[in-house]
Amino acid sequence: MSALPERPPAGTAGPTDATGRPRSGRGPRAGATPASALDHLWLHFTDHSAYPDGSGPPVIVSGEGARIRDSAGRTYLDALAGLFVVQAGHGRGELAEAAAAQARDLAYFPLWSHAHPSAVELAERLTEHTPAGLDRVFFTTGGGEAVESAWKLAKQYWRICGRPGKHKVLSRAVAYHGTTQGALSITGIPALKQMFEPLVPGAFHVPNTNIYRAPEHLRHDPEAFGIWAADRIEEAIQFEGPETVAAIFLEPVQNAGGCFPAPPGYFDRVRAICDRYDVLMVSDEVICAFGRTGGMFACTGMGYVPDIITCAKGMTSGYSPIGAMIVNGRLFEPFRTGRGMFAHGYTFGGHPVSAAVALANLDLFEREGLIDHVREQAPAFRATLERLRDLPVVGDIRGEGFFYGIELVKDTSTRQSFDEAECERILRGYLSPALFDAGLYCRADDRGDPVIQLAPPLIVGQAEFDEMEGILRSVLARVPEML
Ligand code: PLP
């Protein structure tokens, strides 16, 4: 894989950015500091009371490769690719230039009864990588919209097929699928939903594939656990009534809860169950696509064929927002032949600039062999993280490709987790700031059991794996003192 081009050394904030390049547009934005960030900005998923007077969130001003730099001039290893997004790394001039070129040609046009070349080409390019049959692309601006679109499509598709009762959806416990009301209903994290009830009715949840927390008798038998977990889906379909279930949403590797890969045989069995009951299988690849787990689309590498793929994040490596719902042609057929119109869309869905950047990103993936790089380096990444198992708080290390979760426990022999107060003290009070101060941007999360999530840009190698392990080791070693 080729190295990133050399850049001039970092300068101070001013007319150039932190990598020494002249800043285009409206000139320097040197005024943003952690304190001023709180004057008017409302941060997402953020407890604003957590900032004592005069402090504020880190302000990230620039990035280069796998490094980011804050307004105080400190650099960090970006071990989360922003938010599972920046596959190609930061500071890629060619992606910025693709955006500029498209904006000059045609900055905007909607995909409402019109097309533009970038969307046409991108739809074609994406379907070169999808499993056979998934050849129709509906663009959105992000992942939650893709999930929302998939539920709406599933409802309308079954209605057109004369089965209007099929409107319910299934998904898995602790899974995150987005924040719009439909996607939030599909999300399986009660704490994110309660304040917004009543949500869209008809979303039901089944167990996820966390074998570390599986019933005792299944913990050491992945095949049996896979059968057990898939059969919970069949049970839920039968319980709700097959004539009422439209679709199931599953991530190839579930992110929330800390990277749950599927046990062997699981997806084959889920596919067979979906076929048996006419339930559409949606592979929510908002995180897993575009190389994250070692394939352009994760389902192809894992050997299953969904009816719908939802994707976003890494499609442009974050240089411009876009998402997509990619469907099997048979789901499009009734719409193609005039039996219905999908009365659904977004002003910015498939935005020309984003579509052009996505095309340039796909070119970059091919030219630099990013997917092969992930496949080749994944065993080394895993082996490096496995070294952390000697720490008394590391309960489990799991994931795939460049996508890992490290579950923290109070007692590795009993798998006892931390209670809520301990989580607060350890995750938010200690780990998040300590890891960041030590130069590692990643995520300490407790939407399920407490985990550290790692998903670096796909350009990293052994040097960065060692750096992550070293920082995690020094910070995690001190957790017992915090109890
Ligand atoms: N689906 C999955 C699996 C996700 O991980 C996410 C976001 O992290 C979403 C959907 C929602 O995507 P977005 O934040 O782009 O709306």
Q: What is the 3-state secondary structure (H, E, C) of 88-143?
A: CCECCHHHHHHHHHHHHHHCCCCCCCCCCHHHHHHHHHHHCCCCCCEEEEEEECCH
Residue ranges matching CATH 3.90.1150.10 in the chain: 37-91+370-482
* Residue 307 pLDDT exceeds 60: yes
Q: How far apart are CA 89 and CA 64, in angstroms?
A: 7
User: How confident is the model at residue 30, as a pLDDT?
Assistant: 60
68 CA → ligand 1 middle, Å: 22
**What is the DSSP pairing of strand 308-311 with strand 280-284?**
parallel
* Residue 169 pLDDT exceeds 80: yes
- Which CATH architecture does the domain made up of 96-368 adopt? 3-Layer(aba) Sandwich (3.40)
390 CA → ligand 1 middle, Å: 33
Residues whose CB falls within 8 Å of the CB of residue 95, separated by 6 or more in sequence, listed in order = 88, 316, 317, 319, 357, 360, 361, 364
| ∠ Cα 435 410 263 (to 5°) | 85
User: How confident is the model at residue 5, as a pLDDT?
Assistant: 38
Averaged over 438-456, what is the pLDDT? 93
Q: Please give the number of the atom of ligand 1 that sits closest to the Cα of 141.
A: 15
Averaged over 172-192, what is the pLDDT? 98
Q: 139 and 119 in contact (C-beta within 8 Å)?
A: yes
> In the chain, pLDDT over 70 holds for what percent of residues?
94
Side-chain half-sphere of 107: how many Cα atoms within 13 Å? 3
Residues whose CB falls within 8 Å of the CB of residue 213, separated by 6 or more in sequence, listed in order = 415, 449
Residue ranges matching CATH 3.40.640.10 in the chain: 96-368
Averaged over 329-349, what is the pLDDT? 97
Copy the structure tokens of residue 173.
């416990």
Q: Hey, which of 10-24, 367-381, 434-448 has the most confident mean pLDDT?
A: 367-381
348 CA → ligand 1 middle, Å: 17
SS3 454: strand
User: How confident is the model at residue 29, as a pLDDT?
Assistant: 61
Q: Which CATH number fits domain 37-91+370-482: 3.90.1150.10, 3.40.50.2300, 3.40.220.10, 3.20.20.140?
A: 3.90.1150.10
* Residue 20 pLDDT exceeds 60: no
Residue 190 binned pLDDT confidence (cut-offs 50, 70, 90):
very high
pTM for this predicted structure = 0.94
Residue 456 binned pLDDT confidence (cut-offs 50, 70, 90):
very high
Pocket, ligand 1, Cβ cutoff 6 A: 142-144, 147, 176-178, 251, 255, 284, 286-287, 312
330 CA → ligand 1 middle, Å: 26
| ∠ Cα 64 66 71 (to 5°) | 55
178 CA → ligand 1 middle, Å: 5
Residue 50 binned pLDDT confidence (cut-offs 50, 70, 90):
confident
Averaged over 356-373, what is the pLDDT? 98
> Which has more confidence, 480 or 142?
142
Q: How far apart are CA 153 and CA 462, in angstroms?
A: 43
| H or E element at residue 274 | helix 266-277
Q: Please give the number of the atom of ligand 1 that sits closest to the Cα of 180.
A: 16
Residues whose CB falls within 8 Å of the CB of residue 47, separated by 6 or more in sequence, listed in order = none
Pocket perturbation via mutation, ligand 1, pick of 185, 250, 287 by most ligand atoms within 8 A of CB:
287
| ∠ Cα 172 301 82 (to 5°) | 65
